[in-house]
Amino acid sequence: MKYTDNILRFASGDLDLFDAFVDLVNHYQAKNSNEANRSKFEYVDNISFEEKEKNLNEAILAKIIERSGVGYATVDNIQEWFNHPTVRHETFAIISHLIDAVIPQTIINSIGLYTDVRVGGWGDSFSFNIKPRDLFVVSRGGRAQKMSDIHRQFDGQVNILPEFRQITVGTSLYRILTGHDSLAEFAMKAIRSMETAMTADVYNAFETAMAALDDTADTGLRIAGYTQSNLIELCQRVGAFNGGRPVVVGTQLALQNVLPADANYRYDLNSEYVRMGYIATAFGYDMMAIPQLADWNSPFQTLLSDGYLWVLSPMNDKLVKLCLEGSTLSYTANTFENANLSQETTFIKSWGSAIATNSVAATIVL
């Protein structure tokens, strides 16, 4: 696992806690993935998830004690210990850096097919130079002609300015530090929340751009209705302009529409189509499923549209750029500010996304 500079500075050479947390997150994602995607996640498989979570909570507590320098609480002084400002600061500083350790990787797993993830420091803005896609015109010349029309091209530029996003949760530091609530679970829930918000932002930018492909302008990059011929036609078109072989991307429900035009095909219960829900390779092109995302603003609805197939060239240039600014910030309200002695902890993460590419992509509307 490759960590960012802020993680390396915070860890001061001791990355065991971060390695354990990455392993736990990978284990969690593998548990909740289908068979086709499970092999993407590397983790120690001879220890149960529950035991890993217990060990990680103990390791986090030990790291809090080490970094705070306050020592560990006893039954007699636990109130004073968990109210110590240094203990509270180090607790959520550690959680913030654990989040930063895995956010780039987890977000790549869900949107990496069409998104390039960049990480910068605080105060950074992000600029992307867009190279012209067109080639120079080659014209006929004469033996007594010195030169043809002069051609020149200019780069475009897309600037992305990250914006702050916040999560504020009610926590009980007492329950966390006494082991009644899991710090590891708390950190993973924060990661899932941020990952979902980032994925939604990126997907909305991607879908808006793909919906803007208008076939009435004779681009030929948007076709209504799936047929084998339509799919191959778009794959050839995208591949010709981008170079290399494109891939067909969609949700699992969308990809199940990719079937041969010949109605005489057969598949049995052990076939790839039955195991995965779609054909992994068809007509010479790879089919790649993007994981569906819950739409938390609509009860039990999903965010990603099942009504499209997209033809992309991820190896050429990814359509969307996601830019993460700085590390995750966190702070906790004063222990006795609230009448019920509850505490509010706020996590702040800054990111921005936009379409920034010269790559060609195409859409089939199912």
- Spatial distance between the Cα atoms of 315 and 249, rounded to a whole number of angstroms: 14
Contact between 112 and 37 (Cβ < 8 Å): no
- The number of angstroms, rounded, from the C-alpha of 175 to the middle of its chain's C-alpha atoms is 31
In the prediction, which pLDDT does 363 show? 93
Backbone angle region of 345, left / alpha / beta, with phi > 0 → left and psi within -120 to 50 → alpha: beta
Classify strands 247-250 and 308-312 as parallel, antiparallel or unpaired: antiparallel
Number of residues that this document lists for the chain:
366
User: For residue 122, what is the DSSP state?
Assistant: T
**Angstrom distance (rounded) from CA 254 to CA 304:** 10
Please list, in sequence order, all residues whose beta carbon lies within 8 angstroms of the beta carbon of residue 365, skipping any fewer than 6 positions away. 222, 223, 224, 225, 307, 308
Task: Take residue 16 and report the two structure tokens written for it.
Answer: 């065991």
Amino acid 56 reads L
Pair 43, 33: CB distance under 8 Å: no
Torsion (CA) 109, 115, 121, 127 in degrees, nearest 10? 170
pLDDT for position 137? 85
**Contact (CB, 8 A) for 43 and 23:** yes
Instruction: Report the range out of 19-23, 275-279, 308-312 with the highest average pLDDT.
Output: 308-312
The sign of the torsion formed by the CA atoms of 353, 359, 360, 366 equals negative
Give the least confident one: 17-21, 50-54, 83-87, 288-292: 83-87
Is residue 215 predicted with pLDDT exceeding 60? no
Share of the chain above pLDDT 70, in %: 89
Query: DSSP 3-state assignment of 56?
Result: helix
- As a whole number of angstroms, the distance between CA 7 and CA 144 comes to 66
208-319+360-365 under CATH 3.30.2320, yes or no: yes
Distance CA 94, CA 85 (A): 14
Reported as half-sphere exposure (CB side, CA atoms, 13 A), residue 260 has a value of 11
pLDDT of residue 29 exceeding 70, the answer is: yes
Q: What type of residue sits at position 202?
A: V
What single-letter amino acid sits at 86? T
Give the model confidence (pLDDT) of 128-176 as tens digits. Answer: 998 888 888 888 888 888 888 888 888 889 999 999 999 888 777 677 6
H/E segment holding residue 127: strand 126-130
pLDDT digits 0-9 by tens, 218-248: 678 899 899 999 999 999 999 999 888 899 9
Lay out the sheet containing 281-282: strands in order across.
222-224, 362-365, 308-312, 247-250, 285-289, 281-282
Provide the pLDDT for residue 234: 94
Displacement of CA 278 from its chain's centroid (Å): 23
Residue 75 confidence (pLDDT) above 50:
no
In the chain, the amino acid numbered 94 is: I
d(CA 366, CA 257): 8
Using DSSP's 3-state secondary structure scheme, residue 361 falls into: coil
Helix (H) or strand (E) holding 134: none
Q: Which of 204, 189, 213, 162 is nearest to 95 (CA)?
A: 189
> For 113, phi and psi rounded to 5 degrees?
-65, -30
Give 315-364 pLDDT, tens digit per residue: 888 899 999 998 888 877 666 676 666 677 888 899 999 999 988 999 99
**Could you tell me the two tokens for 247?**
């891939």
- Mean pLDDT computed over every residue of the chain: 84
